[in-house]
Structure 1
Amino acid sequence: MAWKRFWDRLMHRRAPQQAEPAGDELLRPLRKLAKDQGRTLDDVTYELLAHSLVQQVPVRRPERCWPTLSHREQDVAALVYAGYTPSQIAQLLNVSLETVRTHVQRILRRCGVHSKVELCIALEQEGAEQRIRWRLEELLNPPGPGAKG
């Protein structure tokens, strides 16, 4: 939402004596796209800018993140991937909230990402979904007493 406000301020601030021909050349396809989609020029331009910024952020991460994580970090990563909150993870794993936060920070660092969303994308890109499902199955449905294992 902050980007939207920033973009709105940027678009409404007019620079003195802008070179119109170059600006028109750039805006013509955007205006057509906005008109074709029934949207405003500001919305289309904002979306394109946001998309290009996301695409250009260089992310240096190991080729395979999941195998570099400890058993407990894999537990935490699987629960993060499944959408559990830190407090829910702490309760499920019977650890403190601070321990969960520490695990999450280590996981992000090891995987070379900056947010939980980036972590989920990285895990998905490396094809870790099946391993995550298995880990979640173990965590959420532990074997009962006397079960063979």
Structure 2
Amino acid sequence: AQRGYRQLKFETSIKGIKVGDVMNENIVNVTKDITIQDLVDDYFMKYRFGRFPVIEDEKTQRFIGVISLHDIKGVSKEEWAEVKIGDVVKTVSEIEKVNMSMEISDAIKKMGKNNLGHLVIMSGGRLRGIITKSDVMRFIKIRSEFH
């Protein structure tokens, strides 16, 4: 009964909140032509994000996919200076894409059901943001302080 009450309280606390309210809009993109070494040195170490959106180039901003620390672990460190992230980036499946108006509760369920650590927010065919489980939990924690 206690678990049911907590679940109800949680669902009530996030009712009406949209993905667009929680997403990180300050996206740091990387282009597909940088090396894994540059990605590690200039992005993972600098920004301390666990994943980055990959775009075709700065001009078109065409979204290709998301690259994570996990994705580069399969490449030996000796190859990092030569291998481009465009060669190892994973394209984003439709299941990972959501729109800004999706209820955050539905996004949480979608991440859980599909074992996803993040969702990509698209609008008009363009990348608008990324939302991670930790973004959601941080948002809920802060929100609970005020409600």
Task: Report the TM-score when normalising by structure 2.
Answer: 0.26
Structure (1/2) with the larger helix percentage: 1
Larger Rg: 1
When you count strand as a share of all residues, which structure comes out higher?
2
